[in-house]
Amino acid sequence: MYFASVKASRDAKAVLTAEQRSRMKTVHDRINAYKGTDMGTKGHPGGYTHHGKEQKS
């Protein structure tokens, strides 16, 4: 299933324009930068709670 996922991702990227690939890379890089911080375990970027629900202590 993993290899099928990789192939599907590559097939999808193959039909993107250069601008779309660039925008996708920017988003991907932003997600990876966010994962590298301790904030990656504390909710969404910008302080949004998970799916709009308040976290209970």
C-alpha 18/C-alpha 14 separation (Å) is: 10
Note the residue count of the chain: 57
Which distant-in-sequence residues (6+ apart) come within 8 Å of 34 by Cβ?
40, 45
Whole-prediction pTM? 0.49
Given this model, what pLDDT does residue 34 score? 82
C-alpha 56/C-alpha 47 separation (Å) is: 15
C-alpha 48/C-alpha 6 separation (Å) is: 30
Which residue blocks in 1-57 are alpha helix, DSSP H? 2-14, 18-35
Model confidence pLDDT, tens digit, residues 1-57: 999 999 999 999 999 999 999 999 999 899 888 887 665 555 555 555 555 555 555
